[in-house]
Structure 1
């Protein structure tokens, strides 16, 4: 294992940025439906959440800046074309599905068995894809 001088990520943590269209709607979804914890808010344009041991940063759309001159942040344009997704390994997929469905989360399909796993998918309010999966 490399020491701290050789590892540029020594004692670092990873944050996933999700661009959202409606901050209040997204904040409500993550806090009240998924159970994320609010860590910090910045002027209505960003919210830092702790979720399942990970950091999520919800941000509103934004254009280029000096440190990213050709990059704009925007929510997914088409939720059926996915470039990233989240998988949550759960103990009981069907039970988790029922609990989340009771909180108002709409799933693409009910849980399906695929040999050694049971899984199903849902979207956040902006079309970011989530999977819940149980290994059998």
Structure 2
């Protein structure tokens, strides 16, 4: 969990306060859900989410922050433990066919989104397919994740 007001200290007596773009997005309860993507190439992933999927870049440096319709995507490279995650190491996926998580993007008109994103370079795994009568769905992949 993160405090989006970001109180940052440079030493015991020094404090610099700055606002995260994500803090502005918090709802009336003070909460915003974001998806963190750990990638090898931040610039490449930012281009994919901006140019292909239509995200708006709010911050283009590590970590990159993108507004994606009514959600947020944070993109960063991996790294070792830090004070706020002392036993956690983040790294990009080693094998693209093994997935431990994904963005689930729900759209009103899957055929239109499929055509639009395909025309901008999205590589879908399949065309939209019927999921046992429950919904139409398809998957695409950011080659970094």
Q: CA deviation at 1:46?
A: 1.5
Alignment match, 1:81: 98
Q: CA deviation at 1:108?
A: 0.7
Q: Secondary structure at the match of 1:76?
A: coil
Question: Deviation digits for residues 99-121 of structure 1, max 9, x if unmatched?
Answer: 11111111111111121311110
Alignment match, 1:52: 69
Pairing partner for 1:14 from 7, 20, 33: 33
Q: CA deviation at 1:40?
A: 1.8
Matches within 5 A, 1:1-136: 10-42=29-61, 45-114=62-131, 115-127=133-145
* Root-mean-square deviation (Å): 1.7
TM-score between the two structures when normalised by the length of structure 1: 0.77
User: 5+ unaligned residues in a row in structure 2: which ranges?
Assistant: 1-27
Query: Runs ≥4 in structure 1, deviation > 4 angstroms?
Result: none
Q: CA deviation at 1:78?
A: 2.4
User: 5+ unaligned residues in a row in structure 1: which ranges?
Assistant: 1-8, 128-136
Query: Which whole-Å CA distance do the structure 1 matches of 2:103 and 2:34 have between them?
Result: 13
Of Structure 1 and Structure 2, the greater strand share is in: 1
Q: CA deviation at 1:47?
A: 0.5
Q: CA deviation at 1:75?
A: 1.3
Q: CA deviation at 1:13?
A: 1.2
